[in-house]
A and B are shown apart, each in its own frame.
Chain A
Amino acid sequence: MLTVNTSIKSNEKFTTASLGCFLRLPLTKHNLAYASLLSRMQTNASLYFPSIRAQQEELSQLYDLQLEIMPQLFGKELLLSYVANFVEPLELLDPDYSYAKIVEDLALIVQHPSFDPALVSVSQKQLLADYKEIVAEPSNYALDRFFNIWYQDEPDYAENFMGPIEEITAATSGQIQRFSDSLRSVPTTIIGLARDPKSMNRLIREEFKQAGLLKKFMTEDATIITPKRLVNKTEEKGNLQAQLMLGYGYRQKIDYYEQVIGMVLAQYLAGDPSSKLFTGIREELGAAYDVEANNFANNSLFLINAGVAPDKSSQAEKIIRNEMAQIGEGKIDDDLLKKAKRALVTVQKIGQDQPNWQLAQMLRENLFPEYENFDRLAALKKVTAHQLQKFVQNLFLNESYILK
């Protein structure tokens, strides 16, 4: 019997239902650019709702159904994602508003894009305008530059926001149609949360007929190995705040348990007001309003960044390097570690109160092998100071980038 990649769980908590359709393809600059353009085109209009007004009015008729179409990056993989959130029909009891009507409309939008050149053109203009506004913000510009340097030798992985804007604006209607046609057979999954999962599942199988739904969606290895850069770079732009970014690469690949340790490290360093870097850079040095640390496991990157007073950026960098060295030597504050773990347990439990969080977890269970069987909460509680030390010993400072 054929396995169709659909999985709808029972929604016992929320007034809204969620559905997500995800198409998996390899991350390349080209794929990202075209996926961004196609996403925007489908957000605007489709074959059956051929103008922005028509599609917008149809979604408003469905009690403001929220449909987000966008590419998402998971290491080497690019997911073209269609995520819908809508009021459960049982909350409204409107005879014209049902699962059948909702799934039918979603299938029309997702499976029948329009390639009207006017639609391509307006979507290109929108993305160009968005792009200019995004990079006008120093924190975004710095992030873009950071990744461009990090992946200098692997440019397919260097793009962050929407792919090369030149490629987006140069795309023709025919090219984007060929790209869209090629997506029919890429691995696809449909997941969701609905009060009546059985009928939702049945409706999805009736309306969504892509060949990709029969292909294996799970990916064996999405991780990009750290490219060795060992770079220090500073750029001057005359901003009021300097953007400081320190990227640590992994020496060895990490597993799910080590990903959790990375999360704890990020929390220990910058997650709370008492965390190490928050107190060092904000409270003691008075150099920043906020400090962030993030473990990008699929990119083999542990990134620490902060907007700092330009004249204090060297001191802030020193504090970060010093703290990482201290952890590597095993000098870890046990009380802070306990706090960091407790905070993350709370975050995990509060996450269960949000439909988007639950859908994101379901997606990971479908995308990554054995993710479903990995107990993150239990893992979080088990993390020790020694494991934190080992995690840091597996890191090396690969890139330091400052935008002034």
Chain B
Amino acid sequence: MRVPQIIKRKYDSGFEAEFVLRPNFNQRFFGIIVDFGSSDPQRHAGTAHFLEHKLFAKESGDLSHEFEKIGADVNAFTSFNETMFYCSGISNNQTLIKLLFRLVGEPYFTEKNVAQEEPIIQQELAMYQDEPNWAVNNTLMKQMFGDSNLGIDVAGTKETIAAITAQDLLECYQQNYVASKMHFIACGDFSDYQVKTLLRLVGKLSEQYFKKQAANKCKIVCAKGQLQSKVLVNKSESNLFGIGLRLPNFKKVLSSRDLSQIMLEIMLESKLSVTSPWFERMRKHNLLSNSLQISVNYTREGNFATIFGISGQSKMVIQEIKDELNKPLQALDRVYLHKFYNLKKKEWLAQTIRSLDDTLLSCGVCRGKP
């Protein structure tokens, strides 16, 4: 099995860099991940996402245009605990890296450009809010985590978006966009010489743009919502339902949060996936026909799992899921579980190998709100 070659470097400032080598690939991918996202402490919910949008604005105009001039693509996303800025092209490595650092490292927030951005973000939120799955997911998060930043959409609410000022953005930026909270990642076909040269450039640029300062340690509050069931009025024919499970601290389960996440997902799937005896029963009783979507997430502000499905009899299905999850393991289940776990191991191995074909997947892109 091919093993990916990864070269890592940590600079004195605390800034980290990583090169993932992909021989024979045309794409050159570069990203900066900031260890700060929508559910972290910020005055108005949605500030991290607003900041991500507004960093593209420079005194000279929209910096995206400079990437376009060399045929490169640039984008960004915000997730619960991270913001990532990334670009990709097929050449001009040094120019791309310089532009990416300028994008993240040179804030230019004015009352005028913040006011211009507000309706655009309101439209982004409206786009999500028109989709039935947004309403279900938003309600689940609120029920699990209340009005905390984790309970509110990554983009914020109509009101919080409107309340964000240029000063808020600057304060938030200065507190969180510091060297020790940043990580650079590159992926593509780079020679040894290129890796050396580019790592030197990354070190120089990180010093130029980001302060060497200890990360601001805000007290993390794990908020709790009302944990109640809700029925949403639906103007479409959607039969979507969702269940949220507020999970305890993963450190009590395993030392690795990633491994805890994988194990918990496998455990939930062993009980509820299409290959489970439980699902077979649901199908026979005409309660479910399509598979459930199960995911486990961890954040600094709380861990949770969500289960989404489609059913015309969602109340009954939700009760069945609760019963199944509460049911202790029986001796008879062990044969099935052993087989299931072995298949899952094969799937995870395959997934690891597959990720070598996918530049973006290797770098953790596609897990937040653009």
Which A residues have a C-beta under 8 Å from some C-beta of B?
A: 12-16, 51-53, 56-57, 60-61, 63-64, 87, 91-93, 122, 125-126, 129-130, 132-133, 135-138, 237-241, 272-274, 282-283, 286-290, 307-309, 339, 342-343, 345-346, 349-350, 352-355
Task: Please indicate which of the listed interface residues B70, B235, B310, B350 has the most CB atoms of chain A within 10 Å of its own CB.
Answer: B350
> Among B27, B274, B290, which residue has its beta carbon within 8 angstroms of that of A130?
B290
- Determine whether the beta carbon of A15 is less than 8 Å from that of B120: no
Is B200 interfacial (CB 8 A cutoff)? no
Which chain B residues border A130 with CB–CB below 8 Å? 290, 310
Q: Which residue of B lies closest to A131 (CB)?
A: B237
Q: Which residue of B lies closest to A94 (CB)?
A: B346
Number of interface residues of B (CB under 8 A): 62
- Determine whether the beta carbon of A129 is less than 8 Å from that of B119: no
Q: Shortest CB–CB separation between residue B86 and chain A, in angstroms?
A: 13
- Determine whether the beta carbon of B359 is less than 8 Å from that of A339: no
Q: Which residue of A lies closest to B276 (CB)?
A: A53
- Determine whether the beta carbon of A135 is less than 8 Å from that of B236: yes
Which chain A residues border B346 with CB–CB below 8 Å? 60-61, 63-64
| B322-362 interface with A by 8 A CB criterion | 339, 343-344, 346-347, 349-351, 353-354, 356-359
- Determine whether the beta carbon of B283 is less than 8 Å from that of A286: no
Which chain A residues border B236 with CB–CB below 8 Å? 132, 135-136
- Determine whether the beta carbon of B280 is less than 8 Å from that of A53: yes
Which chain A residues border B127 with CB–CB below 8 Å? 241, 289-290, 307
Q: Which residue of B lies closest to A344 (CB)?
A: B71
Q: Shortest CB–CB separation between residue A113 and chain B, in angstroms?
A: 18
Which chain A residues border B56 with CB–CB below 8 Å? 273
Is B138 interfacial (CB 8 A cutoff)? no
- Determine whether the beta carbon of A353 is less than 8 Å from that of B27: yes
- Determine whether the beta carbon of B64 is less than 8 Å from that of A272: yes
- Determine whether the beta carbon of A274 is less than 8 Å from that of B290: no
Task: Please indicate which of the listed interface residues A138, A286, A355 has the most CB atoms of chain B within 10 Å of its own CB.
Answer: A286
- Determine whether the beta carbon of A342 is less than 8 Å from that of B239: no
| B198-249 interface with A by 8 A CB criterion | 235-240
Is B123 interfacial (CB 8 A cutoff)? yes
Q: Given the complex of chains A and B, what is the CA–CA distance between A16 and B349 in angstroms?
A: 13
Which B residues have a C-beta under 8 Å from some C-beta of A?
A: 1-2, 24-27, 56, 62, 64-65, 68-73, 88-90, 116, 118-124, 126-127, 129-132, 235-240, 274-275, 280, 283, 286, 289-290, 310-311, 339, 343-344, 346-347, 349-351, 353-354, 356-359
Q: A137-B132, A240-B129 are in contact. List 6 more A-B contacts (CB 8 A).
A: A12-B24, A63-B346, A125-B289, A136-B238, A286-B116, A353-B25
Which chain A residues border B356 with CB–CB below 8 Å? 15
> Among B71, B240, B275, which residue has its beta carbon within 8 angstroms of that of A57?
B275
Q: Write 7 A-B pairs (CB below 8 A) sorted by A numbering.
A: A60-B346, A92-B1, A130-B290, A138-B130, A238-B235, A346-B72, A350-B26
**Residues A345 and B71 in contact in the complex (CB < 8 Å), given A61-B346, A122-B283:** yes
- Determine whether the beta carbon of B124 is less than 8 Å from that of A289: yes
**Residues A339 and B347 in contact in the complex (CB < 8 Å), given A135-B236, A241-B126, A286-B120:** no
Which chain A residues border B72 with CB–CB below 8 Å? 346
- Determine whether the beta carbon of A343 is less than 8 Å from that of B68: yes
Q: Shortest CB–CB separation between residue A128 and chain B, in angstroms?
A: 8
Q: Given the complex of chains A and B, what is the CA–CA distance between A16 and B24 in angstroms?
A: 15
Q: Shortest CB–CB separation between residue A42 and chain B, in angstroms?
A: 15
Q: Given the complex of chains A and B, what is the CA–CA distance between A135 and B126 in angstroms?
A: 17
- Determine whether the beta carbon of A352 is less than 8 Å from that of B289: no
- Determine whether the beta carbon of A56 is less than 8 Å from that of B130: no
Q: Given the complex of chains A and B, what is the CA–CA distance between A290 and B311 in angstroms?
A: 32
Which chain A residues border B275 with CB–CB below 8 Å? 52-53, 56-57
Q: Shortest CB–CB separation between residue B351 and chain A, in angstroms?
A: 7
- Determine whether the beta carbon of B71 is less than 8 Å from that of A15: no
Q: Given the complex of chains A and B, what is the CA–CA distance between A64 and B127 in angstroms?
A: 34
Q: Shortest CB–CB separation between residue A138 and chain B, in angstroms?
A: 5
**Residues A353 and B130 in contact in the complex (CB < 8 Å), given A273-B62, A286-B119:** no
Q: Given the complex of chains A and B, what is the CA–CA distance between A125 and B313 in angstroms?
A: 13
Q: Given the complex of chains A and B, what is the CA–CA distance between A381 and B84 in angstroms?
A: 32
- Determine whether the beta carbon of A346 is less than 8 Å from that of B90: yes
Q: Shortest CB–CB separation between residue A114 and chain B, in angstroms?
A: 16
Which chain A residues border B132 with CB–CB below 8 Å? 133, 136-137
- Determine whether the beta carbon of A91 is less than 8 Å from that of B1: yes
List the 6 closest A-B pairs by CB distance, nearest first.
Answer: A342-B71, A136-B236, A286-B119, A273-B64, A125-B289, A136-B238
- Determine whether the beta carbon of B239 is less than 8 Å from that of A129: yes
Which chain B residues border A343 with CB–CB below 8 Å? 68, 71, 73
- Determine whether the beta carbon of B123 is less than 8 Å from that of A287: yes
Q: Shortest CB–CB separation between residue B97 and chain A, in angstroms?
A: 17
Task: Please indicate which of the listed interface residues A16, A136, A238 has the most CB atoms of chain B within 10 Å of its own CB.
Answer: A136
**Residues A64 and B351 in contact in the complex (CB < 8 Å), given A272-B64, A273-B64, A353-B26:** yes
Which chain B residues border A287 with CB–CB below 8 Å? 119, 123
Which chain A residues border B71 with CB–CB below 8 Å? 339, 342-343, 345-346
Q: Shortest CB–CB separation between residue B23 and chain A, in angstroms?
A: 9
Q: Given the complex of chains A and B, what is the CA–CA distance between A237 and B234 in angstroms?
A: 13
- Determine whether the beta carbon of A339 is less than 8 Å from that of B119: no
Q: Which residue of A lies closest to B275 (CB)?
A: A53
- Determine whether the beta carbon of B310 is less than 8 Å from that of A133: yes
> Among A91, A272, A342, A350, which residue has its beta carbon within 8 angstroms of that of B88?
A350
Which chain A residues border B357 with CB–CB below 8 Å? 14-16, 354-355
Q: Given the complex of chains A and B, what is the CA–CA distance between A52 and B359 in angstroms?
A: 32
Q: Shortest CB–CB separation between residue B186 and chain A, in angstroms?
A: 15
Q: Given the complex of chains A and B, what is the CA–CA distance between A78 and B255 in angstroms?
A: 52
Q: Shortest CB–CB separation between residue A265 and chain B, in angstroms?
A: 16
Q: Given the complex of chains A and B, what is the CA–CA distance between A12 and B2 in angstroms?
A: 13
> Among A93, A289, A339, which residue has its beta carbon within 8 angstroms of that of B120?
A289
Which chain A residues border B350 with CB–CB below 8 Å? 63-64, 87
- Determine whether the beta carbon of B289 is less than 8 Å from that of A87: no
Q: Which residue of B lies closest to A347 (CB)?
A: B73
- Determine whether the beta carbon of B120 is less than 8 Å from that of A282: yes
Q: Shortest CB–CB separation between residue A303 and chain B, in angstroms?
A: 18
- Determine whether the beta carbon of B343 is less than 8 Å from that of A61: yes
- Determine whether the beta carbon of A309 is less than 8 Å from that of B62: no
Q: Given the complex of chains A and B, what is the CA–CA distance between A16 and B289 in angstroms?
A: 31
Q: Which residue of A lies closest to B64 (CB)?
A: A273
- Determine whether the beta carbon of A52 is less than 8 Å from that of B274: yes
- Determine whether the beta carbon of B64 is less than 8 Å from that of A16: no
Which chain A residues border B274 with CB–CB below 8 Å? 52-53, 56
Q: Shortest CB–CB separation between residue B117 and chain A, in angstroms?
A: 8
Q: Shortest CB–CB separation between residue A277 and chain B, in angstroms?
A: 14
Which chain A residues border B290 with CB–CB below 8 Å? 126, 129-130
Q: Shortest CB–CB separation between residue A402 and chain B, in angstroms?
A: 14
Q: Given the complex of chains A and B, what is the CA–CA distance between A61 and B351 in angstroms?
A: 13
